[in-house]
């Protein structure tokens, strides 16, 4: 009597197929895991995050009129907060409020009060707009009630003068708030260019790329 058991050929065939399928599944699984591992999260820049570009309408950021074009009658030496409103890919109005750095402050001063380095070509009848985001560590700046007509950052007391190009007049900010050149059309204030340099947290080079992307949408 032989010491080897007779093996049913059908069982052997199934066993082979099962091993082969198992090996294939294992290899496929490893490949899938490898492929997934190589996928990096995509930092999507949606149209609502892109910066202001020429043609964007300045709209109220807060209050009952939020989303409506800002009106001359509401402007003064206190800051009016605004978002740029562009268009989505279908041409519909799109308020660019998904990016906090897009928040703007709009003022109306006597024209004779505006001094260099304010870009006077980007001013309409004393109305001037700047980024609202502090260049130190990115807090939102607001009116300095102790010195009307100037701005104060609540975080580390950075101070800016919007009558002089929002130059730094106190505290740690390393550079001015960038001005947004504007023009007036049909009673609306419209961006006449992008911010004159990068808002907080972005290099000028990367900011230029964002502006180009916005102009291409």
Q: How many residues bind ligand FES (CB under 6 A)?
A: 11
Kindly state whether residue 136 participates in binding ligand FES, applying the rule CB under 6 A: yes
Nearer to ligand FES (CB atom), residue 95 or residue 103: 103
Kindly tell me which of 28 and 154 has the beta carbon lying closer to ligand FES: 154
Does the footprint of ligand FES cover residue 167 (CB under 6 A)?
no
> Which of 23-31, 42-50, 149-157, 174-182 is the region at the interface with ligand FES (rule: CB under 6 A)?
149-157
Stretch that binds ligand FES, among 1-9, 67-75, 123-131, 165-173 (CB under 6 A): 165-173
100 binds ligand FES, rule: CB under 6 A: no
- Determine if 158 is a binding residue for ligand FES (CB under 6 A): yes
Report whether 130 contacts 101 (CB < 8 A).
no
**Following DSSP, what letter does each residue of 102-141 receive, concatenated?**
G-EEEEE--GGG--TTS-GGG-BTTEEEEE-B-TTT-PBP
Q: Which of 114, 124, 134, 180 binds ligand FES (CB under 6 A)?
A: 134
Please state the φ and ψ torsions of residue 90, each to the nearest 5 degrees. Answer: -95, 5
Alpha carbon of 124 to those of 48, 93, 118, 180: distances in Å? 26, 23, 12, 12
Among 66, 172, 188, 202, binds ligand FES (CB under 6 A): 172
Q: Kind of pairing, strands 104-108 and 127-131?
A: antiparallel
Contacts with ligand FES by CB under 6 A lie at 134, 136-137, 139, 153, 155-156, 158, 171-173
């Amino acid at each position: 009597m032989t010491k080897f058991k007779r093996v049913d050929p059908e069982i052997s065939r199934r066993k082979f197929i099962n091993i082969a399928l198992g090996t294939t599944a294992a290899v496929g699984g490893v490949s899938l895991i490898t492929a997934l591992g190589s996928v990096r999260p995509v930092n999507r820049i949606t149209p609502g995050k892109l910066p202001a570009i020429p043609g964007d309408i300045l709209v109220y950021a807060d209050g009952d009129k939020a989303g409506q074009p800002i009106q001359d009658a509401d402007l003064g030496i206190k800051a009016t907060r605004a978002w740029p409103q562009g268009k989505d890919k279908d041409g519909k109005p799109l308020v660019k409020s998904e990016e906090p750095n897009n928040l703007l402050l709009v003022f109306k001063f006597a024209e004779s009060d505006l001094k260099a380095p304010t870009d006077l070509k980007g001013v309409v009848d004393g109305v001037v707009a700047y980024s609202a985001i502090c260049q130190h560590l990115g807090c939102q700046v607001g009116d300095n009630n102790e010195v009307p007509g100037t701005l104060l950052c609540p975080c580390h007391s950075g101070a800016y003068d919007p009558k002089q190009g929002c130059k730094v007049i106190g505290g740690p900010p390393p550079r001015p708030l960038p001005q947004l050149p504007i023009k007036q059309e049909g009673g609306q204030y419209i961006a006449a260019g992008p911010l004159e340099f990068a808002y907080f947290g972005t290099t000028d080079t990367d900011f230029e790329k964002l502006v180009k992307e916005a102009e291409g949408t």
